[in-house]
Amino acid sequence: MEEEPAQVPGSRGRTIEECQDMIRRSLRTPMAKFLREHLEKAGCGVEENLIKAINCDSKISGGYISGKGIIVCSNHMNIQDEVNQVVIHELIHAYDDCRAKNLDWANCAHHACSEIRASHLSGDCHYKRELLRGYMKMRGHGQECVKRRAMKSVIANPYCSEAAAKDAVEAVWDVCYNDTKPFDRAP
């Protein structure tokens, strides 16, 4: 699950149709093409219609639902870069789900691992994005950001308490932060 980006004052997001067009553009980016290619190699294709724009009630920007696909919350999207980021983040979850075969999203450690990987590998924690979110630390922000965003997502899992989420993130941190598949190294 991807937390909602900072909103531009006075903006109300995009229509579902506008967001669907933005999703199509996202799927043409090099990173999305790379992830889709590796999903195919792992035996799990992601067709364009499996990524859907919807209006969301909760304050998230998107999500991955195992066996169903990816959602992008059109009413929380304003610019192409936001859609690109959500699509890439959620494609990493799809890749993890495909690769693991037995990934249990109700298991806090499994969920934490995928969130750590998605936040780390998608560029969610690039320092420019962090500055836009109001986090001003210039050095060492990356790992702090990944932990913070993974914790926030795992806490939102109805099967994980805050304590369970914290324990899960800590327990899987080293293995999952250093797992850069399908990339050779963190992009």
Reported as a single tens digit per residue, the pLDDT across 36-65 is 999 999 998 777 678 999 999 888 899 999
Domain boundaries, the chain: 13-99, 104-180
Residue 8 is predicted with a pLDDT of: 43
Please state the pTM of the whole predicted model. Answer: 0.90
Please tell me the predicted confidence (pLDDT) of residue 3: 55
Q: How far apart are CA 50 and CA 67, in angstroms?
A: 10
Say which amino acid occupies 71. I
Cis geometry, peptide bond prior to residue 30 (ω within 30 degrees of 0):
no
Sequence-ordered list of residues with C-beta below 8 angstroms from that of 72, at least 6 positions apart, any chain = 19, 22, 23, 51, 52, 53, 54, 61, 62, 83, 86, 87, 90
Active site residue 130: no
**Tens of pLDDT, residues 109-133:** 999 999 999 999 998 887 676 656 6
How confident is the prediction for the chain on average, in pLDDT? 89
Check pLDDT > 50 for residue 6: no
Please report the pLDDT score of residue 45 as a whole number. 75
171: its two tokens: 């327990």
User: Which amino acid does the sequence have at 141?
Assistant: H
pLDDT of 159 > 90? The answer is: yes
CB 2 within 8 A of CB 83: no
Is the model's pLDDT at 137 over the cut of 70? Answer: no
pLDDT digits 0-9 by tens, 63-73: 999 989 999 99
Contact yes or no for 22/32 (Cβ under 8 A):
no
* Options 90, 130, 144, 162, the catalytic residue: 90
What's the Rg (C-alpha) of the chain?
15
